[in-house]
Amino acid sequence: PNRESRVGLSATEKDAFGMPRAEVKLAFLEADLESIVASHTLFVNQFRARNLGEITYNEEGLRLYLRKRITAYNSASHNIGTTRMSKDPQTGVVDQHAKVHGVSNLYVAGSSVFPTGGHANPTLTIVAHALLLADHLKKLE
Protein backbone atom coordinates (compact mmCIF):
# COMPACT_ATOMS: atom_id res chain seq x y z
CA PRO A 1 0.00 0.00 0.00
CA ASN A 2 1.12 3.51 -0.77
CA ARG A 3 0.12 6.17 1.73
CA GLU A 4 0.07 8.74 -1.07
CA SER A 5 -2.94 7.04 -2.68
CA ARG A 6 -6.16 8.67 -1.56
CA VAL A 7 -9.90 8.83 -2.13
CA GLY A 8 -11.41 12.16 -1.25
CA LEU A 9 -14.23 14.52 -2.10
CA SER A 10 -13.94 17.16 -4.79
CA ALA A 11 -14.02 20.76 -3.65
CA THR A 12 -15.45 21.85 -7.01
CA GLU A 13 -17.24 18.99 -8.81
CA LYS A 14 -20.74 17.85 -7.84
CA ASP A 15 -22.77 14.81 -8.87
CA ALA A 16 -26.38 14.81 -10.13
CA PHE A 17 -27.62 15.12 -6.53
CA GLY A 18 -25.40 18.09 -5.74
CA MET A 19 -23.03 16.03 -3.62
CA PRO A 20 -19.24 16.34 -3.97
CA ARG A 21 -17.82 13.83 -6.45
CA ALA A 22 -15.23 11.33 -5.34
CA GLU A 23 -11.66 11.99 -6.42
CA VAL A 24 -9.23 9.10 -6.66
CA LYS A 25 -5.50 9.74 -6.46
CA LEU A 26 -3.43 6.65 -7.16
CA ALA A 27 0.28 6.59 -6.46
CA PHE A 28 2.56 3.68 -7.26
CA LEU A 29 5.86 2.62 -5.77
CA GLU A 30 8.77 1.05 -7.60
CA ALA A 31 8.08 -2.03 -5.45
CA ASP A 32 4.62 -2.34 -7.06
CA LEU A 33 6.15 -2.51 -10.51
CA GLU A 34 8.95 -4.86 -9.43
CA SER A 35 6.53 -7.30 -7.78
CA ILE A 36 4.68 -7.65 -11.08
CA VAL A 37 7.94 -8.17 -12.97
CA ALA A 38 9.09 -10.75 -10.39
CA SER A 39 5.79 -12.64 -10.67
CA HIS A 40 6.00 -12.74 -14.45
CA THR A 41 9.63 -13.85 -14.33
CA LEU A 42 8.79 -16.64 -11.87
CA PHE A 43 5.93 -17.82 -14.07
CA VAL A 44 8.07 -17.79 -17.22
CA ASN A 45 10.94 -19.63 -15.51
CA GLN A 46 8.62 -22.32 -14.15
CA PHE A 47 6.88 -22.66 -17.51
CA ARG A 48 10.23 -23.15 -19.24
CA ALA A 49 11.61 -25.50 -16.56
CA ARG A 50 8.68 -27.84 -17.13
CA ASN A 51 9.04 -27.70 -20.92
CA LEU A 52 5.48 -26.48 -21.30
CA GLY A 53 6.35 -24.37 -24.30
CA GLU A 54 8.25 -21.25 -25.19
CA ILE A 55 7.37 -17.78 -24.00
CA THR A 56 8.84 -14.65 -25.49
CA TYR A 57 9.59 -12.50 -22.49
CA ASN A 58 11.64 -9.40 -21.91
CA GLU A 59 11.85 -8.03 -18.36
CA GLU A 60 12.84 -4.54 -19.44
CA GLY A 61 10.06 -4.49 -22.02
CA LEU A 62 7.57 -5.41 -19.31
CA ARG A 63 8.92 -2.65 -17.04
CA LEU A 64 8.53 -0.08 -19.82
CA TYR A 65 4.99 -1.28 -20.53
CA LEU A 66 4.05 -1.10 -16.84
CA ARG A 67 5.54 2.38 -16.40
CA LYS A 68 3.45 3.57 -19.33
CA ARG A 69 0.30 1.88 -17.96
CA ILE A 70 0.58 3.33 -14.45
CA THR A 71 0.67 6.86 -15.84
CA ALA A 72 -2.72 6.20 -17.45
CA TYR A 73 -4.18 4.18 -14.56
CA ASN A 74 -7.64 5.47 -13.75
CA SER A 75 -10.47 5.12 -11.29
CA ALA A 76 -12.20 2.58 -13.54
CA SER A 77 -9.56 0.07 -12.47
CA HIS A 78 -9.83 -2.28 -9.48
CA ASN A 79 -9.54 0.11 -6.56
CA ILE A 80 -8.70 -1.84 -3.45
CA GLY A 81 -8.04 -0.90 0.14
CA THR A 82 -9.99 2.33 0.59
CA THR A 83 -11.61 0.97 3.79
CA ARG A 84 -8.77 -1.31 4.86
CA MET A 85 -9.24 -4.12 7.33
CA SER A 86 -7.14 -3.96 10.49
CA LYS A 87 -7.56 -4.84 14.15
CA ASP A 88 -6.23 -1.37 14.92
CA PRO A 89 -8.51 1.59 14.07
CA GLN A 90 -5.39 3.70 13.52
CA THR A 91 -4.36 1.57 10.54
CA GLY A 92 -7.72 0.47 9.15
CA VAL A 93 -11.38 1.35 8.78
CA VAL A 94 -12.93 -2.05 9.51
CA ASP A 95 -12.09 -4.87 11.92
CA GLN A 96 -11.55 -8.56 11.05
CA HIS A 97 -15.32 -8.99 10.64
CA ALA A 98 -15.58 -6.00 8.26
CA LYS A 99 -17.36 -3.93 10.92
CA VAL A 100 -16.49 -0.25 10.82
CA HIS A 101 -14.45 0.65 13.90
CA GLY A 102 -16.50 2.65 16.39
CA VAL A 103 -19.85 2.03 14.68
CA SER A 104 -22.11 -0.63 16.17
CA ASN A 105 -24.00 -1.82 13.08
CA LEU A 106 -22.11 -0.89 9.92
CA TYR A 107 -20.27 -3.48 7.84
CA VAL A 108 -18.42 -3.12 4.54
CA ALA A 109 -18.30 -5.81 1.87
CA GLY A 110 -16.05 -5.59 -1.15
CA SER A 111 -12.44 -5.20 -2.17
CA SER A 112 -12.16 -1.90 -0.33
CA VAL A 113 -11.52 -3.88 2.89
CA PHE A 114 -8.49 -5.68 1.43
CA PRO A 115 -5.32 -4.42 3.13
CA THR A 116 -3.45 -4.87 -0.15
CA GLY A 117 -4.25 -6.01 -3.66
CA GLY A 118 -3.11 -8.61 -6.10
CA HIS A 119 -2.28 -8.15 -9.73
CA ALA A 120 -5.76 -8.37 -11.23
CA ASN A 121 -9.37 -9.46 -11.02
CA PRO A 122 -10.36 -9.59 -7.34
CA THR A 123 -13.88 -10.94 -7.93
CA LEU A 124 -13.40 -14.43 -6.51
CA THR A 125 -11.82 -13.06 -3.34
CA ILE A 126 -14.62 -10.49 -3.01
CA VAL A 127 -17.24 -13.25 -3.24
CA ALA A 128 -15.38 -15.42 -0.72
CA HIS A 129 -15.16 -12.51 1.70
CA ALA A 130 -18.85 -11.68 1.22
CA LEU A 131 -19.75 -15.27 2.10
CA LEU A 132 -17.61 -15.10 5.25
CA LEU A 133 -19.26 -11.82 6.21
CA ALA A 134 -22.74 -13.28 5.60
CA ASP A 135 -21.93 -16.24 7.86
CA HIS A 136 -20.68 -13.86 10.55
CA LEU A 137 -23.80 -11.70 10.33
CA LYS A 138 -26.09 -14.75 10.54
CA LYS A 139 -24.41 -15.69 13.83
CA LEU A 140 -25.27 -12.27 15.26
CA GLU A 141 -29.03 -12.83 14.90
Q: What single-letter amino acid sits at 10?
A: S
| Distance separating alpha carbons of residues 99 and 88, to the nearest angstrom | 12
- Within 13 Å, how many C-alpha atoms sit on residue 104's CB side? 0
pTM comes to 0.64
Q: Is 8 or 89 the better-scoring residue by pLDDT?
A: 89
| Alpha helix positions (H), 17-72 | 30-49, 59-71
Quote the radius of gyration of the chain (alpha carbons, Å). 19
pLDDT category of residue 13 using cuts at 50, 70 and 90: very high
| Distance separating alpha carbons of residues 55 and 48, to the nearest angstrom | 8
Q: What is the pLDDT of residues 52-104, one digit of tens each?
A: 988 899 999 999 999 988 887 765 667 788 899 999 999 999 999 999 999 99
| Distance separating alpha carbons of residues 117 and 125, to the nearest angstrom | 10
For residues 11-25, average pLDDT: 93
